[in-house]
Amino acid sequence: MVAAARENTQFSPAAADQMEKIVFDLGRMYQERNEALQEVARAHHEALFLLSMAAEYKDDDTGIHIVRIGFLAEALALFLGESKDYALMLRKAAPMHDIGKIGIPDDVLKKPGAFTPQERMIMNRHPAIGADILGKSRIALFQVAAEIALAHHERWDGKGYPNQLAGQAIPLSGRIVTIVDFYDALTMDRVYRPAFSHEKALEMLLAERGKAFDPDIVDCFLRNSAAISALREQVTVGRMTFADLINRKQEAP
């Protein structure tokens, strides 16, 4: 009976054409839905990138610092042997690490002198603020960005903030970004000092090995410092932007 039923289950050419059309339409709808979701995610990302630029405006009115952070974090992750997918995620997520500064009052954020204890307490809230802003999204990219925002002021020796994490309890993403942020900040002009040389920045990085920073990641950075410095110059001279962060083809380190 089963065989007979199978023999009798034949579709007319018109029905077969209709089924093929339905399958095609479903495939097109799925593709359009994915493209629409990707566009929403891109718009969300760009809006948060612009907020991050606003948060950094005191020292970086072009936004190039946070673009460099993205590319340098990606390169360092690759030098550490992490996957290309992980490194690319860092490239896109790392520029949002300081977005929480948008929630810090300007009289604290832009203060030229040293902070009072109360002002320091206010300033130290920005990692948690950033993690809260970014963590509201269920998109994987923003979850990683939230992790970085919360962890990038933790220290290897446990003396950082906000959670006094130590060693490998600090997420790898945070341990990578804090090092490239430190290096890039040292080698750029600030409102209160000129840029340090590449060599001096490496000395200062080495001095914090095993204190502020993961010693293995510091060693990797130092081994590859010439390539990292060259990449930094390439991003700066090329005036790379948000579009480059998202669209630039990934290159081997």
CB 153 within 8 A of CB 98: no
3-state secondary structure of 213: strand
Phi and psi of 193, rounded to 5°? -165, 155
User: Could you say which of 58, 92, 101, 249 is catalytic?
Assistant: 101
Q: Has 110 been annotated as catalytic?
A: no
* Alpha-carbon gap, residue 89 to 1, rounded angstroms: 56
* Alpha-carbon gap, residue 124 to 109, rounded angstroms: 11
Q: How many CB atoms lie within 10 A of CB 45?
A: 22
* Alpha-carbon gap, residue 143 to 93, rounded angstroms: 9
Residues assigned a catalytic role = 101
